[in-house]
Amino acid sequence: MDFHYKDGQLYAEDVKVKEIVKEVGTPVYIYSKAHFVEQFNKFDKAFKREHTISFAVKANSNLAVINVFAKLGAGADIVSKGELFRALKAGVDAKKIVFSGVAKRDDEIEYAIENDIMMINVESEDELEAVNRVAQKLSKKARISLRVNPDVDPKTHPYISTGLKKNKFGVPHNEAFDLYLKAKELPNIEIYGIQFHIGSQLLDTKPIYDASLKIAELMRALSDKGIEFKVVDVGGGVGIVYNEEEDKEPSIDDYAKQVEEAFKDFNIKLVFEPGRFLVGNGGILVSEVIYHKTNGDKKFLIVDAGMNDLLRPSLYNAYHKIAPVEKQNREEIVCDIVGPICETGDFFGRDYKIEDVPNGEYIAVFSAGAYGFTMASNYNSRPRPAEVLVDGDSFRVVRERETLEDLIKGETI
């Protein structure tokens, strides 16, 4: 019972969205804790083998949201010092944190080693040397995995496809073998795992299975050289339904079976880095309709949220369902739903059919729980929206709306 309509009113769990908006204003991100918990449990229960779910906090890094997962036993997949800082603040067990990313600086590596995270997912030979050097300076051994690029097509949007040879991510499959042999000789490196992540918003998980088979084959070859692993990190990428008419949610049970099958011969623990699957459909962005406007034949619904608040439609031409917060059987219109930003690409929906919403009333943009607030910016000097977490019949602001003073914090003339 996350987001649903009752008598034409949109509810977040047991709270009327309009009630939240009256108190907190717009634009506002509203999250459903029940949805987060349900998705986590669905994922968790699908696996029979020992595993850790390390929530990809880039999808939604609000402290309260990370904390919901930490309390359920989740770890975190982080890609920066800032994300590690957040994860630790939110109460995530450092031993369940994995660190991905192609451009880790020495200070970030140092912060990770000092906090004794599970492992650093190394993405190049240069990085492997950097990790060894930093660990040496700290007189420690750093646990690592190599992020292997298996060259498998995830069949998703090119901007969020990461496991092809032409992408910048990971160590090419055919070079990973030699790099593990090198890692074995480095004094301050402990080989702990092997990782891959081929892309995001996968509605078919078969490419993850194909990649798993390639990784398993590599593991067999490395085993012959005396290299064994404690964990296999399968990355994230499981998709969600954005468009109820077109998308079909992948079966987590099938995904679990495929992954477990691929690694059945190995005595390892599985690690997962889901982001979108856990939070995507657990959030909405609510915005007020400011004006109606017609340019020739074209109708526009102008709202008070923009691409700076939710970038996905502008950046990926991503579809998000949009609907009135209060449905009143008004006539339907076909319009572009646009924001205040001075860019033609500032839209949430184009030629979108929606029940007309009068000025001063509200619309909800659905599936905004993942890569929504985290990709928001202050472009056009707009304070970023508030974030609210609903839990049953109560809600609380888990991030205040930014103020004008926040906009100039740290600046001098």
Site string for ligand LLP, 156-195 (x = CB under 6 A): ----x-----------------------------------
Query: Which residue stretches of 224-348 are H helix?
Result: 252-262, 276-279, 312-316
Q: Is 86 in the site for ligand LLP (CB under 6 A)?
A: no
Q: Is 149 in the site for ligand LLP (CB under 6 A)?
A: no
Q: Is 100 in the site for ligand LLP (CB under 6 A)?
A: yes
- Tokens read off for 26: 């717009």
Q: Which stretch binds ligand LLP (CB under 6 A): 215-223, 269-277, 354-362, 405-413?
A: 269-277
Considering beta carbons, is residue 3 or 196 the nearer one to ligand LLP? 196
Quick check: is 335 catalytic? Answer: no
Q: Is 197 in the site for ligand LLP (CB under 6 A)?
A: yes
Angle between helices 106-114 and 81-89 (to 10 degrees): 20
Contact pick of 62, 201, 281, 314 for ligand LLP (by CB under 6 A): 201
- Tokens read off for 149: 């690029």
Considering beta carbons, is residue 115 or 167 the nearer one to ligand LLP? 167
Q: How far is the CB of 272 from ligand LLP (least distance, A)?
A: 9
What phi and psi, each to the nearest 5 degrees, are found at residue 384? -75, 155
Q: Is 275 in the site for ligand LLP (CB under 6 A)?
A: yes
Q: Is 207 in the site for ligand LLP (CB under 6 A)?
A: no
Considering beta carbons, is residue 207 or 274 the nearer one to ligand LLP? 274
Contact partners, residue 6, CB within 8 Å, separation at least 6: none
- Tokens read off for 87: 């994860």
Q: In whole angstroms, give the CA distance from residue 4 to residue 120.
A: 40
Q: In whole angstroms, give the CA distance from residue 92 to residue 95.
A: 9
Q: Is 75 in the site for ligand LLP (CB under 6 A)?
A: no
Q: Which stretch binds ligand LLP (CB under 6 A): 110-118, 233-241, 282-290, 360-368?
A: 233-241
Contact partners, residue 227, CB within 8 Å, separation at least 6: 180, 181, 184, 191
Q: In whole angstroms, give the CA distance from residue 201 to residue 276.
A: 8
Considering beta carbons, is residue 280 or 339 the nearer one to ligand LLP? 280
Q: How far is the CB of 275 from ligand LLP (least distance, A)?
A: 3
296-335 binders of ligand LLP (CB under 6 A): 312
DSSP 8-state symbol, 249: P
| Cβ-based neighbour number of residue 230 at 10 Å | 17
Catalytic residue among 342, 405, 409, 412: 342
| Cβ-based neighbour number of residue 48 at 10 Å | 9
Number of H helices, E strands in the chain: 12, 21
Contact pick of 173, 276, 384, 399 for ligand LLP (by CB under 6 A): 276
Q: In whole angstroms, give the CA distance from residue 408 to residue 381.
A: 9
Nearest Cα residue to 238 out of 267, 194, 275, 212: 275
Q: How far is the CB of 207 from ligand LLP (least distance, A)?
A: 13
Q: How far is the CB of 131 from ligand LLP (least distance, A)?
A: 17
> Under the rule (CB under 6 A), what is the footprint of ligand LLP?
56, 59, 77, 100, 160, 197, 200-201, 235-238, 273-277, 312, 370-371
Residues marked active site are found at 342
